[in-house]
Amino acid sequence: MSVAVDWAVMPEPAPRLYELRLPSLADTAIRGAVRTVLARWAPAASGSTQSLDRTGVVLRLSLGDAEAAALLRDLYATGLAPATVVLRPIQVGVPRAPQEEPVFAIFTRHGGAFVPTWNWRAFVFGPFWYFRRGLYGKGVVLLGLSVVPFFTLAVTILLGLAVLVYCGAVGNWDDYLWRVRGTQWW
């Protein structure tokens, strides 16, 4: 069974905010062509394109995905090297600021001091959760403690479980230290 899709009926995604970065341009012919393209795509920014000969330009444009591709094609047609043009969506994949993490509010209420909390993901994934959060130094130490056989199998298993409990109980605090204070050590 096949389903026919009428692409003409599909709604186009809403425009989103893009940042366009262009370098300073020494070639007057290319500079004039780029100004013409920018006057067509961003008429309100025509005054800021005067800096193309000195410092380059940074513009914020509201474009649909198809319009962004068309703008790039027009800019490349002027003779600009593709490596010099940066057009990126601004609001895609923006990570939350550290202060927006709900669990960090507990630590800030206590003046940045340690408060025991529980993190199930850190408990289940242990040192790998630390790697995922960017805490590589502490992750290596915890991984070494949890997998290196010390004396007997029983001691190694107990040490591995202790590392997992540490990760669950202190993982949020370690993440807070890294994202807010900029340190990944104790």
Domains and CATH numbers, the chain: 16-89 (3.30.1390), 98-181 (no CATH)
User: What was the pLDDT predicted at 9?
Assistant: 56
Quick one: tokens of 18? 């893009």
Q: Which residue has the tokens 């915890």?
A: 142
Counting residues of the chain whose pLDDT is more than 70, the rounded percentage is: 82
User: What was the pLDDT predicted at 20?
Assistant: 86
Backbone φ and ψ of 183, nearest 5°: -125, 145
| Cβ neighbours, 10 Å, residue 112 | 13
User: What was the pLDDT predicted at 142?
Assistant: 92
User: What was the pLDDT predicted at 36?
Assistant: 87
DSSP-assigned beta bridge partners for residue 22: 57
User: What was the pLDDT predicted at 98?
Assistant: 54
Determine the residue type at 105: A
Q: Which residue has the tokens 């669950």?
A: 168
pLDDT, the chain, mean: 81
Q: Which residue has the tokens 């540490």?
A: 166
User: What was the pLDDT predicted at 167?
Assistant: 93
Residues of the chain with pLDDT under 70: 1-13, 45-53, 91-100, 186
User: What was the pLDDT predicted at 95?
Assistant: 54
Does the pTM of the predicted model rise above 0.75? no
